[in-house]
Structures are given as structure tokens and as C-alpha cells.
Structure 1
Amino acid sequence: MPRRLAALIALLVIPAVTTAERMYTWVDDQGVAHFTDIKPGIREYKRVELRTPSLIPMRENITRGKRVSTINQQVSRSLEAGSGGGRTLSDKQEARERERKNARCEGYRDKLDRIQKQLRAGYSNDQGNRLRRQRREVSQKLSRECLLG
């Protein structure tokens, strides 16, 4: 049903956009500006040049919004878990956890460097798309686990 509704809206909007290629403007005696797609015959007017409208796919915006919400929830949970809870790790356990985290973060940075070198070296379209996807995924992990956490 949503696809049918989107198709119906597109069918109604596209003809309106294509027919409104010529627009005219003029100012009346009271100083009010008028806009129309019909060429005025009684007044001095100017032709308005319209640019093609930009279309932004909403699916990508919604997906990114959900990802950001998920990250915010993860950050909130980790902050709540770290602020209270009554449990404390021993100094040795904390040091081990820090070492693991630092090693994991360094691994992410190394992987990002390797991907960047491969991208700079040249690639085919398919390989470039794969490398950019990997770079995006590793960057997100680095941000979530190392910079925010």
C-alpha cells in the first residue's frame, strides 16, 4: 500500500513540476509581488528561471536516523553502566580491559590505514565500493568503541 501511495503522489507531482517550467512575476500598484505560470498581458513582468527540484531518497535518511538512535542508546547504556552499579574491577582487571581496548582500537586504526592505502592505489568500481563499505564499517566501530566508549 505505501508503494502505491508513493506512486500516486509521484504521478500527481511530476506533471505539475514539468508544466511549471515558465514562471512570471510582477509587482502591482500596492507593491505586492505576484507569481504565475501564465504570461501576464497587462503589466511589466519578469520571467523567473526555475531550477530542477532536488530529490532526496528518504529511505537512506530513515536508516541513518535509526543507526544514530541505536548508537545514542548504546552510549547511554554504557554511561549508566559505568557510573553506578556498585561493582568495581580490580586494578589488574581494569588494566587488562584497557590493554584489550587499546589493542582493538589500534587494530581498527591499522585496518583503516590499509584500506586508505588500497583506495589511493587505484581500484575497479566493484573493489572501490567494497573498500569504501569496509572503511565506513571500520570507522563506525572505531567511533563507537574507541572514541565514544
Structure 2
Amino acid sequence: MPWRQVAVLAFWVIPAVSTAEMYTWIDDQGVAHFTDIKPGEREHKQVELRRPSLIPMRENIRRGERVSTINRQINRSLEGDHDGNRKASAQQEARELKRKNARCAGYRERLERIQQQLRAGYSNDKGNRLRRQRREVSQKLSRECLLG
């Protein structure tokens, strides 16, 4: 019996939430306000709400890699360098890639060491420090290695 009441309640609440309207107006001091209640006498605009676009992280990374590849190709074609300069730039690019891969491997190793320390047990202070380090290294890894 309680499930039936929950179903009836959901039947009435969900459509009301999905049809919410959003309004915006600017007050006398130039501050923009947003609300879901119609502002009455004030001059206002109704905001059109769109569903957020969701791109999985892996697809986002692939797009970034494709854009980077396209940018490199465009830069090469715009430079119009001679073959010798192209070889030198290709070697330089290979060195940079090797450095980046080594740096990323270091981040991964450091992250794994921190994870092992967290799994092994810790005091509160050490745990907070390890979680902070894990967060920082993880951000560096994603920023420098995964996203670009």
C-alpha cells in the first residue's frame, strides 16, 4: 500500500518539476537576479532552459587529442619549412613527447605510492596530507597528460 502512495505522489511531483520556469531581471543597482517565481510587476525575461550536454570524459579526451593533432598539422603547413627544419622540428617534438611521457609515468607512479600508503593505514594528519597530495598529483596528471 505505501508504494502506491509513493507512486501517486511521484506522478504529481515529477511533471511539476520538469515544467519549471526561470525568470531573470535587473534591479536598480544593476545586479542580475534569477528566480523560478515570476517577479510580478518588474520588467523581466523568461529564461529558456536547455538540457545540459553530456560528453563522457574519454570522448572529451579524444576530442582534445584530435584538436591537438589538427593544430600541429596546421602549424606545420603554415610554417612551410624546408625538409631540414621539418626533421629538426620532428626530432624536437619527439623529445618533448618523450619528456611528457616520462613526466606522466612519474605522476602515475607517485599516485600509486600515495594510494598504497592510504591503503596501509594512517593517522588523521597523515591521511589528510596524503589525500591532499593525491588530489594535487591527480590534477596534474589529468591536466598535463590526459587533457593536453
TM-score calculated relative to the size of structure 2: 0.44
**TM-score with structure 1 length normalisation?**
0.43
Q: Which protein has the larger Cα radius of gyration, Structure 1 or Structure 2?
A: 1
